[in-house]
Structure 1
Amino acid sequence: MKKYFCIYCSLALLFYSFVVYLNCLHNSFVYDDQSTIVDNYFIRHWHNFPDIFTGKYFSLSAELTYRPVVTLSYFVDFTFWKSNPAGYHLTNVLIHSANCVFFFLFCFQLLKKRLTAFVSALLFSSYPLLSESVNAIGFREDLFAFLFMISGFLFFLKSRKDKYFIHYSLSLLCYFFGLFSKEMAITLPVLIILHDLVFPPFLLKNTLLAGRQNNGSVQPINPSISLRLSYLKSGFYRYYSGYLLISLFYLSIRFYFLHNPLESEIQSPLKNPFSSFLTMTHVLAYYIKLLFLPFPLNVDYVIPVSTSIAKISFWISALLLTATGILAFRTKQRNNYIFFCIVWFFITLSPVMNIIPLGNVMAERYLYVPCAGICMAFGILLTKSASFLSSYHERNTVRKPFTFTTTFPISLTLLPALFFLLSGSAYLTLRRNTDWKDGLRLWSKTLTVSPNSARSHINLGNAYEKMDINSAAFEEYKKALKIDPNDADLFNNLGIYYDKMRLYEDAIACYKKSIEIYPQHTQAHNNLGVIYTKERILDEAIREFTKAISINHYYPDAHSNLGIAYYRKGAMDLAEREFLTAISMEPNHAKAHNGLGILYNDRQQFDNAIHAFQTAVKIKPDYANAHMNLGALLLKHKKDKHAALFHLKESIKLDPQQDQATGINKLIQQLEQAN
């Protein structure tokens, strides 16, 4: 049984973690998934992959920081799943399941107790606080960071035990990939040093063991701090120098060779170190509250900026943190493992404590890696409590304790406690998964918790806009405008609304305001160019499209729109160049194929034009304008009345309010009478 126990536990964890997140496979793309996946042409073709290693990465990938491992996973996902969100969610769930297994193996390697390791991993697999990282495809970096961190730590422990260089090399490799998944992985060497301070390897060596004989057993004396530090110093070149070199390499890439200049433009609400200290004290205290009471969960926390030390809320938070610190150091005297787990939480959380300004002051996804330490602490406490009760029961009764397997005795009290915790956390997680079903549900739910969240109002407005509920979208945008009148995305969205309403002057004003707030807003430049094209202000349109392309070189939408502007200006060769450029970037760009068909029709290259229109409707069957163009061309130059009638009817069915609706209906009527 002992031989196969780890295999059985791993299979059980895979099954349990998959079932807990099974209902998220039906969810759609939400939150940052729109920019990261849906609108991201970069991940659709492998010939773009080399650009991951260039300065173009940031404008092409929709990532603010350099995370090539995550972007690579999106390439793989799109290869298999295209635009099917279920496949992307499946990938997230599988990574989380793998994390649970590696976490179990790590806990077993560290604690040397199978039951404690298994319980810790079970708690981690269904912990409600982790649901944001698993449900949001655009936050996959937290999953990858933990995967590489925990496997890197596991290989490090194995290298200490077996003295195999291959294990140490694998640990360094995992650390390397972890850093290029998310910056939080840089805490791994700190955790390793913490481990060696708390659990010095020389305690296991008889030559360095000082102890006393007690009933035939040797009990080591706790070594001094100086002895521990001297060991760290002696092991620097052997164990720690590799992590240091990789860290220096990563930092040079991150802040010099492939640094995104837009990072410096991040608008953090915390303007100075003092307000940052006060506010993050509140945030840290609330994080601790969420560990024990993981509700209500929230996608967008609105954190008021603290500016005064006189507020009672600050002192309550400070008192909680002080009590946590005292508890951690008190446990150091009794249980090094629980001390290690508590310090794990604070170390891994430190990169997101606004030391470097962050756009989001607080987010649940930041807790994915720190929660592992807390789950391990809970696992230790649960099994120790069960062991104590089992021993007490054995001392006071003649009956033997209940045996779960022949591997380890277990108290009857552990099973109901564990069942209560797991069923409760699984229930909360399953319910939370349904909140991520789509944008409408997610942001409606978020606004019940954070009614003053401008981001939630904007995203709810976007959800209404996609459903063509334009009046509701406009109301949400107005609410967001009252909360934050300086949001560039908000004015871009308002411009889209006014464009739909054909209020072009208002749309132009909104797009210009968006660009004024954020000059690098590619969508605002592109959308402004579209309005100028409609208004026949072609020179200004060309200027805006060119600006959008200069910001994001891989922007097929802007190239296609620039082609339309050149076409309307009569610059046919330039128009053809832009249409072909858009198609080379995105072969399935229906609008570019349609524009190319119009151009070929004007040049009387009718076969090429028909092929272009057919490609457009094949790519996008609900493309009304392409159906109209194809139907008219088939009727005029191929005399194919049957096919022409089909495409003209399809066009009017898809868009009965289009500008050419009267002429199309008249032509359909003539064809039907002729038949």
Structure 2
Amino acid sequence: MLSTDDNRSPSWRQPALICSLVLLTAWIYTPVIHLGFIHYDDTEYVWRNAVVSKGLSWDGFRWALVSGHASNWHPLTWLSLMLDVSLFGPHPLGHHVINVLFHILNTVLLFHIWTKMTDEVWPSAVLAALFAWHPMHVESVAWISERKDVLSAFFFLMTLVAYRRFVLRQSMGRYLLVMGWFCMGLLSKPMVVTLPCVLLLLDFWPYRRWQNPDAIALMNGVETRSQFHRWGYLFVEKLPLLALSAISCVMTLVVQRKAMGSLAALPLPDRLANTVIAYLRYIGKLFFPTDLAVFYPWPEGWDSWQVALCASFLIGVSAYFWRERKTHPERIVGWSWFLGTLVPVIGLVQVGGQSMADRYTYIPTIGFFLVICWSVASWVKPRPRLYRPVAWASAVVLGVLGGLTVVQIGYWQNTMTLFRHAEQVTQANHVAQINMGVYVAENEGPQAALPYFLRAIAIKPDDVEAQFNAGLAFRQLGRYAEAAVHYRKALERNPGYVEAWNNLGVVLDLMGDRQQARATFETTLKIDPDYEPARINLRKLETREGQGG
């Protein structure tokens, strides 16, 4: 992890490092060619998505622009998945290969931009390698549904490339290019809304625009003699980008309103406590990337001393890096990058039932790795005798991470292998039980799957999907009264669950209670007038009644 100036680097060094990053990353991720679809989200995104599975089409293009399917608005992600289907067919291999290609491209872009911004080759190379080979990023690459991660990160990094060109020679055309790349990132995944703040961090270091009286070229005739005024204009410069972020946030809140945990279920103090703890859990897994799981259940609660200790650590590190900002500005920049880019997904506004997720670290870890790489480089630079030992130590660390990544990829072979591992490394994982049950139901039938759903209910009785799947299994087994009980419990938790209403109507009809079945189908259509299965079932019921059957 040595610090070396570009001007003293042999001309072949950077191309050689890029080739090494590309080839080694491709080799590490070779096992993805054996991975299939998984039931968790892949069904909604590709596998059983009636629109995406048809490939690119004008109808699909219009659907992508207006759809809030899967509680997300990300048109470019939908279109990229449709393009995969058009190019490679309905098989998972093509999707996996494209995810890996984007990950490799992001690695190269990361090395390129940090080398250009800082003139530091070796820290940039190690930063890119940590990003490429860390096991926590397997989830973003090996999971087809997380195309939005690798795609949005690509546009995020292209925005940084465009922003560097704008900083070197400011013009409206170059600024519009920055906005264009940023827009594409937002259309891929709204998590990149923090990018304007990242650009302000880069203005502090490495660009140091706040120190340059001529930093604001677009503000013709404006005096920028004081640092205060320069920071003000740098902020004003980001306002159009912040406006795009605000629009994206509104769109996200609209489409995710059904997936958001209610304040009654997740009160603010609990969410704040989990936020503080989650930062430290992420840091712990970055240093010791073991026991990684596709789903981390929400804990029963955190002790106040744990929350206080974690909060003290975060505040203490932040204060230390702030104090060192003049001598080591890269530390406060990287630390702020890590903390800030996690804010949209840290749980202050809870979406889904997870307490944290490995996929959320794909962009934030760039800042964390930045702190490590540049801190080690600054320590080694005045001590030439340490160059070789640190280089060997870095190689060992990267090799271990690469090996752990290969192991982690293996867990993604199918739904059962993935969630069996999640169950083993977490405690009381109801989501793992549900997904294993769904997999078993398709391969062995409802009788074999039922115990998984019942275990999920025992872990979390108010889980809607566990109750719904238990109801579905009981219905397939002909145990209609028990199926109705579970459907009703699902509806108690989510009264707008049209599929549960429809299935309840079906089992009531099978039990001979046609009056209640009719009322249930009518309720379904009141909630969603376009829900065709309920309309068909109601029509069949009316036909039988008309025939006296």
TM-score range, shorter chain: 0.7 to 0.9
- Counterpart of 2:63 in structure 1 is 51
| 5+ residue gaps, structure 2 | 1-8, 217-224
The question of 1:437 aligning with 2:413 is answered yes
Tell me whether 1:35 sits opposite 2:44 in the alignment: yes
> Counterpart in 1 of 2:198?
191
- The answer (yes or no) to whether the contact 1:156–1:171 under 8 Å persists in 2 is yes
2:248 aligned to 247, 250, 273, which one? 250
- Using structure 1 for the length normalisation, give the TM-score: 0.70
Q: Is the 8 A contact 2:106 2:153 kept in 1?
A: yes
Are 1:386 and 1:413, in contact at CA under 8 Å, matched by a contact in 2?
no
Output the amino acid matched with 1:53: L
Tell me how far 1:375 sits from its aligned partner. 2.0
Aligned to 1:487: 463
CA distance in structure 2 between the partners assigned to 1:525 and 1:270 by the alignment: 23
Counterpart of 2:371 in structure 1 is 377
What code does the residue aligned with 1:565 have? K
Are 1:314 and 2:307 matched, yes or no?
Answer: yes
Q: Give the secondary-structure state (helix, strand or coil) at the position aligned to 2:325.
A: helix
Alignment correspondent of 1:565 = 540
Q: Are residue 80 (structure 1) and residue 87 (structure 2) matched? A: yes
Counting aligned pairs with the same residue, the percent is 21
8 Å Cα contact 1:155-1:171 kept in structure 2: yes
2:23 to 15, 22, 30: 15
The answer for the alignment partner of 2:291 in structure 1 is 296
CA distance, structure 2, for counterparts of residue 548 and residue 207 of structure 1: 60
Name the structure 1 match of 2:208.
200
Structure 1 residues 118-169: Cα deviation after superposition (integer angstroms, max 9, x where no partner): 2211111001111111122223322223222222122112211133544322
CA shift digits 1:370-399 (9 cap, x unpaired)? 101122233323444553442x47xxxxxx
Q: Which has the higher contact order (CA 8 A, sep 6+)?
A: 2
Gap runs ≥5 in structure 1: 209-225, 394-410, 573-675
- Which sits farther off after the overlay, 539-548 or 451-460? 539-548
**Judging changes above 3 Å, is the alpha-carbon distance between structure 1 residues 147 and 545 closer, same or farther for their aligned structure 2 residues?**
farther
2:5 is aligned to none
Contact 2:423 2:432 in 1 (8 A): yes
Note the C-alpha offset of 1:489: 0.9
Q: C-alpha separation between the residues in 2 aligned to 1:319 and 1:234?
A: 34
2:502 pairs with 1:502: no
Matched, 1:417 2:393: yes
Q: CA RMSD in A?
A: 3.3
Separation in structure 2 between the aligned mates of residue 235 and residue 71 of structure 1, nearest angstrom: 34
TM-superposed CA distance for 1:188, in Å, is: 0.7
Whole-angstrom CA distance in 2 between matches of 1:253 and 1:492: 29
Is the 2:46–2:53 Cα contact (8 Å) retained in structure 1? no
Which residue of structure 2 lines up, in the alignment, with residue 240 of structure 1? 238
> Which of 148, 151, 158 matches 2:155?
148
CA contact (8 A) 1:488 1:518 kept: yes
User: For residues 78 and 545 of structure 2, what CA distance do their matches in structure 1 show?
Assistant: 40
Corresponding residue for 2:441?
465
Give the match for residue 364 of structure 1: 358
1:66 and 2:65 matched = no
Secondary structure at the counterpart of residue 348 of structure 2: coil
Provide the C-alpha distance between the structure 1 equivalents of 2:37 and 2:123, rounded to a whole number of angstroms.
37
TM-score normalized by the length of structure 2: 0.85
Q: CA–CA distance in 1 between the matches of 2:482 and 2:250?
A: 46
Change (3 A) 1:459 1:42: same
Which SS does the other structure have where 2:71 is aligned? coil
> Is the alpha carbon distance of 1:500 and 1:251 closer, same or farther for their aligned partners in structure 2, counting shifts above 3 Å?
closer
Give the AA of the match of 1:247. S
The CA distance in 2 between the partners of 1:182 and 1:279, in whole Å, is: 23
Alpha-carbon offset, residue 194 of structure 1? 2.1
Deviations 1:332-390 (A, max 9, x none): 24311122111110111112222223323311111111101122233323444553442
CA contact (8 A) 1:146 1:178 kept: yes
**How many residues are paired up?**
526
Structure showing greater radius of gyration is 1
Q: Answer whether contact 2:468 2:500 (CA < 8 A) is retained.
A: yes
Structure 2 partner of 1:446: 422
Question: Which of 93, 104, 118 is the matching residue for 1:97?
Answer: 104
Among 326, 329, 345, the alignment partner of 2:338 is: 345
Classify 1:564/1:74 alpha carbon distance in 2 versus 1 (closer, same or farther; 3 Å). Answer: farther
Contact 1:107 1:376 in 2 (8 A): no
Whole-Å separation in 2 of the counterparts to 1:423 and 1:67: 35
Map 1:507-526 to 2 at 5 A: 507-526=483-502
**Which amino acid is 2:244 matched to?**
I
Describe the SS at the equivalent of 2:388. Answer: coil
